[in-house]
Structures are given as structure tokens and as C-alpha cells.
């Protein structure tokens, strides 16, 4: 028997990488598979929540009963998330996506061509919106959870990031080899301190995380 800890709740998530185009056939992305994000989405659904996932390019299957909105770029992800929040109340927002920090500012509508002896093209970058921080600042902000992949001093950097983003809970990926893997190890950081969730499958970590979120959520009116 699995208690329906999120019954009556609406959860919005981001998952996967983003893809920032350079020209019609090229772009910049990262190694996020979307596995952790979709595992959290599935766990939220199993806990009884209504779940919407805004996903960057990811081959992960859509969990049963979960609504999926596919996007490509960080700006599209940002717009889709804000559109969902404008359209209705959400209790929880979990930002699992590995959003590109920068997009290509000098996108070329035609395919860049190499010319014999010519200089390689120079890319210019513009900063993408921070989706999580923007959601956390909204007056109607859901209860927000962020993720962090820090290469060093996860505890201190994670705690600082939690405050900077203005979220009650930040989940640190312990170690850097989590991308695309089945297993992970997490550090939960909240205002009172941190707690380690030891190495386990992303599915079982997601279930533990959902229990932690449910325990911290303000009661339903």
C-alpha cells in the first residue's frame, strides 16, 4: 500500500536538457537524459498528484497519467512554465531540467557554411531566463524545489544556491556521473540543514523525495 501523499495536489515539473540552436541543423545541448525528472514526475503521479511535465528533448517515455509538454529551448521552457502557472494554481514546482545558461544570440536562419581558408564562425551568447528563480518570485509561487549539480562543496554551494533562488528545498546531485545513469545519490538541503539520500535507483530516490516534499508542504485549506 502506497499512501497517496499528494492527493489533491497539482505538481508542475521541468525535465531533460534544453537545445539551443546555432543554425537550422546545429545546436548546443547537454548530457541530461530527463531520467531523474521523469522519475520524479512518475513518483508524484503515484502519490496521487495531477502532474504536468515541461520537457526538453528527451527520449524518456511519458509516465501513465502524466501530462507532457515538449519544448526545445530554454526560452520555450520558460514560456510553457509561465503559461501553465498563469492558467491555473499549482501546489508544487520541481525544476529538474538542466536548462542551458546561454542561448546563441547570433542564430543563423541559414546553415553556416565553411569557406576554404575562411575564419570559423564566432558564436555570441545571451543569458537565458532563470526559470526556477522566476517562478519562486511570483506572488502565486507554488512550493518550489530546485536541483543542483555542483562539482565541489555541494553542501555549502547548495545552501547558497537555495537562498539565491529563493526556494525552500534544493536537491544536490552527489557526484557528477549522474547524467544518463540509472542510479543517483542526493543531498536534500533546506533551511534547517541537509540530509543525504544514499545511492539508489532514480525511481526509489524520486519516491523518497516526493515523501520529503509532501511532509513539508503546507496543509491544504
Non-local CB neighbours of 178 within 8 Å, separated by 6+ positions: 36, 149, 184, 185
DSSP string, 65-130: T-EEEE--SHHHHHHHHHHHHHHS--SEEEE--B--SEEETT--SS-----TTPPPP---EEEPP-
CB of 113 to ligand C5P, least distance (A): 31
* 74 near ligand C5P, rule: CB under 6 A: yes
* 132 near ligand C5P, rule: CB under 6 A: yes
Q: What is the DSSP letter of 44?
A: H
* 146 near ligand C5P, rule: CB under 6 A: yes
- Which range, of 42-50, 53-61, 115-123, 141-149, touches ligand C5P by CB under 6 A? 141-149
Positions 147 through 166 that interact with ligand C5P (CB under 6 A):
147-148
What region does 48 belong to: left with phi over 0, alpha with psi -120 to 50, or beta? left
- Which range, of 28-36, 84-92, 110-118, 142-150, touches ligand C5P by CB under 6 A? 142-150
CB 85 within 8 A of CB 79: no
Positions 14 through 33 that interact with ligand C5P (CB under 6 A):
14
**Which active-site residues does the annotation give?**
30
CB of 188 to ligand C5P, least distance (A): 13
> Binding site membership for CTP: which residues?
101, 111, 129-132, 147, 161, 165
List 13, 80, 131, 210, residue binding ligand C5P (CB under 6 A): 131
List 44, 92, 99, 205, residue binding ligand C5P (CB under 6 A): 99
Residue 184, SS3 per DSSP: strand
Burial class of residue 191, CB neighbours in 10 A (0-12, 13-18, 19+): exposed
- Which range, of 20-28, 96-104, 183-191, 197-205, touches ligand C5P by CB under 6 A? 96-104
Q: Which parts of this chain interact with ligand C5P (CB under 6 A)?
A: 14, 74, 95-97, 99, 128, 130-132, 146-148
Amino acid at each position: 500500500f502506497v499512501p497517496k501523499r499528494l492527493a489533491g495536489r497539482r505538481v508542475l515539473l521541468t525535465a531533460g536538457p534544453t537545445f539551443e540552436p546555432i543554425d537550422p541543423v546545429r545546436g548546443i545541448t547537454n548530457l541530461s537524459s530527463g531520467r531523474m525528472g521523469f522519475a520524479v514526475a512518475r513518483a508524484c503521479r503515484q502519490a496521487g498528484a495531477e502532474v504536468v511535465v515541461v520537457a526538453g528533448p528527451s527520449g524518456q517515455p511519458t509516465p501513465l497519467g502524466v501530462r507532457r509538454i515538449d519544448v526545445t529551448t530554454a526560452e520555450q521552457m520558460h514560456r510553457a512554465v509561465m503559461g501553465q502557472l498563469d492558467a491555473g494554481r499549482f501546489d508544487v514546482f520541481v525544476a529538474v531540467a538542466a536548462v542551458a545558461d546561454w542561448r546563441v544570440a547570433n542564430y543563423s536562419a541559414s546553415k553556416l557554411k565553411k569557406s576554404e581558408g575562411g575564419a570559423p564562425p564566432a558564436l555570441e551568447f545571451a543569458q537565458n531566463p532563470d526559470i526556477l528563480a522566476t517562478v519562486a518570485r511570483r506572488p502565486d509561487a507554488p512550493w518550489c524545489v530546485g536541483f543542483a549539480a555542483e562539482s565541489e562543496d555541494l553542501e555549502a554551494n547548495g545552501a547558497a544556491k537555495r537562498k539565491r533562488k529563493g526556494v525552500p528545498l534544493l536537491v544536490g546531485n552527489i557526484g557528477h556521473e549522474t547524467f544518463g545513469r540509472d542510479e543517483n545519490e542526493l543531498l536534500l538541503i533546506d533551511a534547517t540543514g541537509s540530509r543525504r539520500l544514499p545511492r539508489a535507483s532514480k525511481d526509489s530516490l524520486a519516491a523518497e523525495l516526493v515523501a520529503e516534499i509532501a511532509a513539508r508542504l503546507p496543509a491544504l485549506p
